[in-house]
Amino acid sequence: MIFELSGGTTSKSPLRILPIFVNSVADILQSKFGLDIHPSVFSGKKDSTYLLQHHDQLVLLIGLGEDPELNEVEKSFRRILPKNSEIIQDKVTLDFAQDLDSKLIESALIGFSLGGYSFDFFKKEKDKKKDFQDLKVEINSNNESIQQIINRAEKISNAKIEAFKLVDLPPNVLTPTFLAEWAIKLEGKNGLKAIIFDQKKAKSERLEAFLAVSRGSAKEPKFIILEHRHPQAKFHLGLVGKGVTFDTGGLNIKTQGMVHMKSDMGGAAAVLATTQLIVDLNLPINLTSIVPAVENAVDKDSYLPSEVIQSHAGLSIEVIDTDAEGRLILADGLSYLVQNYSIDQVIDLATLTGSSVATFGYECGALFSNSEELSNSLQKAGLETYEKVWPLPMWENYRKEMDSEIADIKNYHGKPIAGAITAAKFLEAFIHEHPSWAHLDIAGVAYGDTEFSKTKSGTAFGVQLLLKFIENQL
């Protein structure tokens, strides 16, 4: 997809796309096309469309309603390409000539770009009508900052599409090595540095919990570190993303839903895509991102329920359930981050527990934090981007649920209650008392049913949330 600014002359593209508010339908249709359309046919209400022909050009009207929310604008524009592929040729015009807010234009451009995403990666014969890679998109706007809006929207949509792909690719392709190679390809952009620990290096760094989870897999684990440094950095943010590229549950094998467990690296996808976005935008922060990438498989070498394993933090862990593996690799990731970098804020993202889904459904992620300021900032950013997170308590009594008779801590309390909270309390034990840490359990929002695919797919949840969180502090 190639965006270009209008030269100021009347567009000659075969298709012109025009967003319209309810209160401006009559004026715009009359002034631009000399038409009167009865409100029962098209009134401009939210999610409505109307196709008309004006001279030799098709015009697609997109109803925005009266006061549209940005996520709804993004969805409206994401629908355009897949729902109108029959009339899409080599060029379209997005006509933002009316007085549209910059944020609205940005959301429209992001949505339109996302509409070109399809994950028919391995089809022998791909539908050419869904290939919009070379589509020229002419932008007509009076906004003085339109070029900056286009550039920013492209970077955001590119990052979200990368997050889509990372979750949607099958686990025989999306392996820990694939994620490591993805990170290496990003190296050098605006000075980004990629560091990859193989099994031997991870062992020497005492990442024992991380290595234990990978023991049953033929796919080598990779401990991925990305460092972005900016000379005018305002603060240093640390991100950790759970990267279980496929989760069988280990020897506590899953009895249902395993077909969807390629999505168990949704946290890693969000962290990697956000890192790409921060680097592309060259935001003035220092960023260190860590993705412990493993496959939790079943083999003669798989780690066992009742094992006691070690960890980077020096705490021994009694393994109660091998399907509580995400918190083990996060524990080493968090400990390594805090111990080796001077981080101002630490945020981890993980598709961690079904308990968070039971609490919030598919509406928002569960937020846990030891800092009220950090928690409030993440809630605010979530509401602004419609990637909502909401807090659950971190009371110390929940920590007692993780006490072990034989080790310093156990990885699962074995009860059908407070699962998301006790998982967060487990992670808290590995942050070395860092005063500003947040854990986002995104199990219900990183992957799911959407109108844009026939099967469950990645949502890129967390990318715009983290971007807004960062920019609110600049």
Residues designated as active site: 254, 327
Helix locations, 283-352, DSSP H: 326-340
**Cβ count within 10 A of residue 147:** 13
Contact 81, 88 (CB under 8 A): yes
Quote the CA–CA distance of 426 and 410 in Å, as a whole number: 8
Q: What is the dihedral of CA 377, 378, 380, 386, to 10 degrees?
A: 160
From residue 396, alpha-carbon distances to 257, 365, 368, 403, 458 in Å are: 33, 22, 13, 12, 34
Quote the CA–CA distance of 433 and 405 in Å, as a whole number: 23
From residue 206, alpha-carbon distances to 84, 309, 310, 313 in Å are: 54, 11, 8, 9
Residues in the chain: 474
Quote the CA–CA distance of 457 and 107 in Å, as a whole number: 21
Q: Please, which residues have CB within 8 angstroms of residue 359's CB and are 6 or more apart in sequence?
A: 366, 392, 420
As beta bridge partners, residue 52 has 59
Contact 62, 20 (CB under 8 A): yes
Q: Please, which residues have CB within 8 angstroms of residue 250's CB and are 6 or more apart in sequence?
A: 213, 216, 296, 297, 298, 302, 303, 322, 323, 325
As beta bridge partners, residue 409 has 317
- State whether residue 310 is helix, strand or coil: coil
Short-list 172, 171, 169, 139, CA closest to 154 = 139
- State whether residue 269 is helix, strand or coil: helix
Short-list 431, 289, 322, 274, CA closest to 368 = 431
CA 100 remoteness from chain centre: 27
Contact 467, 350 (CB under 8 A): no
Q: Please give the backbone phi and psi of residue 301, each rounded to the nearest 5 degrees, phi first.
A: -100, 5
